[in-house]
Amino acid sequence: MEKNLWKHIETVRTQSPLVHNITNFVVMNNTANALLAVGASPIMAHAHPEVQDMVSICQALVINIGTLNDYWVRSMLLAAEKANQLGKPWVLDPVGAGATNYRNHTLSALLSYKPTVIRGNASEILALAKANTTPTKGVDSTAESSEAIEAAKLIAEKYDTLVCISGKTDIIVGKGAIISLDNGDALMTKVTGLGCSATAVIGAFIAAIDNKLEALTAATALFSICGQLAAKQSAGPGSLQVNLLDKLHNISEEEFWQTLKIA
Amino acid sequence: MEKNLWKHIETVRTQSPLVHNITNFVVMNNTANALLAVGASPIMAHAHPEVQDMVSICQALVINIGTLNDYWVRSMLLAAEKANQLGKPWVLDPVGAGATNYRNHTLSALLSYKPTVIRGNASEILALAKANTTPTKGVDSTAESSEAIEAAKLIAEKYDTLVCISGKTDIIVGKGAIISLDNGDALMTKVTGLGCSATAVIGAFIAAIDNKLEALTAATALFSICGQLAAKQSAGPGSLQVNLLDKLHNISEEEFWQTLKIA
Amino acid sequence: MEKNLWKHIETVRTQSPLVHNITNFVVMNNTANALLAVGASPIMAHAHPEVQDMVSICQALVINIGTLNDYWVRSMLLAAEKANQLGKPWVLDPVGAGATNYRNHTLSALLSYKPTVIRGNASEILALAKANTTPTKGVDSTAESSEAIEAAKLIAEKYDTLVCISGKTDIIVGKGAIISLDNGDALMTKVTGLGCSATAVIGAFIAAIDNKLEALTAATALFSICGQLAAKQSAGPGSLQVNLLDKLHNISEEEFWQTLKIA
């Protein structure tokens, strides 16, 4: 699969899939920009009378519960139901799973519509598996990615989905496969919503590529590699956010292969 | 009119008009920053109990339906009604017109309050004229600006308004006039919400300048020229967003005249 | 107190307090990034079923009424009530106070929960004190900081709170103390929401530091100094926003002391 990763990046650029996002207020701008930078076409819409129409015209759906409320939860459920019905791929970002009962209940309802991919930090994946013995610290993780592997296996099995545990090492779990990606940079944790942007980019890749495990791996590798390359040029988190969007847009095949650390 | 364009840019800087925006979640930050960069003073407010009060204290209103829902549609209608009542100029950005029935119905209701200017891409303008034979691709245009000229003429006539069709060439249509502006850069389509920011800047210009056709032309020229100049300095869409705001703030008269391509 | 200011900046970096923000749509991204840049951990949540749970797990609360509506006002009241009940510090940013009756009523209700700090521009502080004889121009101030000192004294007394009047000179008023900070740069007024970000940073400092007057002073000094240093390197407001986040992250003790102007 490794040799296909760059090809998938080019496929997204060529196909420019339309990706429907129901995400949180904090990251909407960055998320849309990350999608544009990798060559996809973002749309954001959540009104109940139109949300299922939008799912119908898009190639994938991204749901992120960061700043949920009752109206938005209903939008998410309508959209996930439609994606499930139409067999369209969708990705779930369980922001703050385990922090409140309200988030846990919302996530249970969403999981019934079988997301194609779930991407979260270790604390969130542990919480999703109800195996969370690590106290959640708001939306940031207090656990290491490796601790959450068993939880991810459980979730992958139970919901027939792929799981990406983000962290210092990103770990992808599903269908018997475990893939580790050792790219990224610590400065990325000082920019809000980079995880949310990574989730949206995964949406673009599962929209355009049939092999969902390869799509998830290519998206995750691309995002972490671009973050790592961008961090090298950055004086702090402000410039990292800017340089990351530039790099998602202009990364070369050579840069990709020279930076990739996969196992 | 051409010779007045720079004077109008200076008028906005001097008068610093207060511009009320009811816009989408994705672009609120950029939109406010674009308004500040050209010298205007942005306000964003949508609560039903105050939205008409805000229209009363502002010099112009900007309505953008990007992430509408029932509450926000009601806010937009209340604001447009008040602007119409008080004779205050307002600009409409029909994001995603034609994509869903919900958007089309909302736009019909808004149009009854006679916007001073409508700014959209070719697909949106075609959809507004119900002459849309081009399938809409989410919020991005699949049609060329030139195809939408007849549609724009119809709308300009029917609603007694000015229309700006954004695209590779920006085309301004109204009261027998057709103006083409050939500035901008392809990289601008890789930054989310630049069209929405252009619409907000138009709001600032129709707030401060009596001749609305000249105001619209000056705003559109300024935005596209700054985008073009900023793109030259930018490694990708991240830096373009930053450089565009800088250029809107510090563009010189010489740069403006040397870059302008108007016909 | 002056000699403690840098120590407090380091305390925030070390403790990384969790700060709950209920703020406006325009600035959510920047606000979260400003908190991360100073070393804090932001969370944004407003759903009625979870908002009090979130207050419980956080070390401080930030309330900013920029883009309020009925749902959000209720969120703010629930959160402020809980913070008050649990004795958690919280900061109020009364954006647009005096612009509409709706804002004034909302602020009266919030003030009953006794914010630890109120930070606003001179017009807003005057409006809060119902001593506002200066017409409000939207969300920007038309009054000088110094005119609002008497108003700030009244508020500080009446609500047993600290007040920070932001402006060319930032003035901190409370418990008999008046502190002036003469840092910052005029270009900062051309970036949207820097005041809102300053308020959030105050939230991080009152979360981590017991002496609230020193916490407020350290936060305000840090933000204005970083803005001043960032402005020197910036071609316009776009790059200022980026450079400010970088500087909040990487400012050195030497830069801090060399730039500080306190009286």
C245 vs A96, A101, A236: nearest CB: A236
Average pLDDT for B232-245: 98
Average pLDDT for A231-236: 98
Report the alpha-carbon distance of residue C80 to residue C159 in Å, rounded: 14
* pLDDT-above-90 percentage for chain A: 92
CA distance B17 to chain C (A): 10
Phi first, then psi: what are they for A163, rounded to 5°?
Answer: -125, 135
Say which residue, C75 or C143, is predicted with more confidence: C75
Instruction: Indicate yes or no: CB of A50 within 8 angstroms of CB of B191.
Output: no
Q: Are B201 and B219 in contact (CB under 8 A)?
A: yes
Residue-wise pLDDT for B35-45, tens only, equals: 999 999 999 99
Residue B139 is predicted with a pLDDT of 63
* pLDDT-above-70 percentage for chain A: 95
Residue B63 is predicted with a pLDDT of 98
Residue-wise pLDDT for A108-137, tens only, equals: 999 999 999 999 999 999 999 974 444 455
Domain that holds residue A141: 2-259
Three-state secondary-structure class, residue C118: strand
Three-state secondary-structure class, residue C150: helix
Sort out which chain A residues have CB atoms less than 8 A from C33's CB and list them: 191-192, 237-238, 241
Query: Mean pLDDT over all residues of chain B?
Result: 94
Instruction: Indicate yes or no: CB of A29 within 8 angstroms of CB of C32.
Output: no
Residue-wise pLDDT for B137-189, tens only, equals: 566 666 677 779 999 999 999 999 999 999 999 999 997 899 999 999 999 99
Residue C147 has pLDDT above 80, yes or no: no
Residue C1 is predicted with a pLDDT of 81
Say which residue, C142 or A189, is predicted with more confidence: A189
Query: Mean pLDDT over all residues of chain C?
Result: 94
The predicted complex's ipTM stands at: 0.94
Residue C138 has pLDDT above 70, yes or no: no
CA distance B132 to chain C (A): 33
Average pLDDT for A43-55: 98
For chain C, the residue count is: 263
Backbone torsion region of residue A79, taken as left when φ is above 0, otherwise alpha when ψ lies between -120 and 50, otherwise beta: alpha
Confidence of residue B133 (pLDDT cuts 50, 70, 90): very low
B249 vs C96, C99, C237: nearest CB: C237
Question: Angle, nearest 10°, between helix axes C237-250 and A237-250?
Answer: 120
A68 vs C33, C47, C241: nearest CB: C47
Residue A132 is predicted with a pLDDT of 42
Instruction: Indicate yes or no: CB of C33 within 8 angstroms of CB of A242.
Output: no
Average pLDDT for B217-233: 98
Sort out which chain B residues have CB atoms less than 8 A from C65's CB and list them: none
Residue B194 is predicted with a pLDDT of 97
Residue-wise pLDDT for A137-196, tens only, equals: 566 666 677 779 999 999 999 999 999 999 999 999 997 899 999 999 999 999 999 999
Q: Which residue of C has its CA nearest to B244?
A: C238
Sort out which chain A residues have CB atoms less than 8 A from C22's CB and list them: none
Report the alpha-carbon distance of residue C164 to residue C142 in Å, rounded: 17
Confidence of residue C77 (pLDDT cuts 50, 70, 90): very high
Sort out which chain A residues have CB atoms less than 8 A from B29's CB and list them: 29
Report the alpha-carbon distance of residue B252 to residue B215 in Å, rounded: 18
CA distance B238 to chain A (A): 4
Q: How many CB pairs under 8 A join A and B?
A: 101
The burial class, CB within 10 Å (0-12 / 13-18 / 19+), for C194 is buried
B18 vs C30, C137, C241: nearest CB: C137
Report the alpha-carbon distance of residue A21 to residue A46 in Å, rounded: 9
Domain count, chain C: 1
* pLDDT-above-70 percentage for chain C: 95
C119 annotated binding-site participant:
yes
Residue A7 CB: number of other CB atoms within 10 A? 12
Confidence of residue C130 (pLDDT cuts 50, 70, 90): confident
Question: Angle, nearest 10°, between helix axes B194-208 and B5-15?
Answer: 80
Q: Which residue of B has its CA nearest to C141?
A: B41
Choose, out of B245, B247, B252, the residue to mutate when testing the contact with C (most C CBs < 10 Å): B245
Q: How many CB pairs under 8 A join A and C?
A: 102
Tokens 């060329």 correspond to B144
Provide the CATH number for the domain around residue C228: 3.40.1190.20
**Which of the 8 DSSP states describes residue C123?**
H
Residue-wise pLDDT for B95-120, tens only, equals: 999 999 999 999 999 999 999 999 99
* pLDDT-above-90 percentage for chain B: 92
Average pLDDT for B210-228: 98
C197 annotated binding-site participant:
no
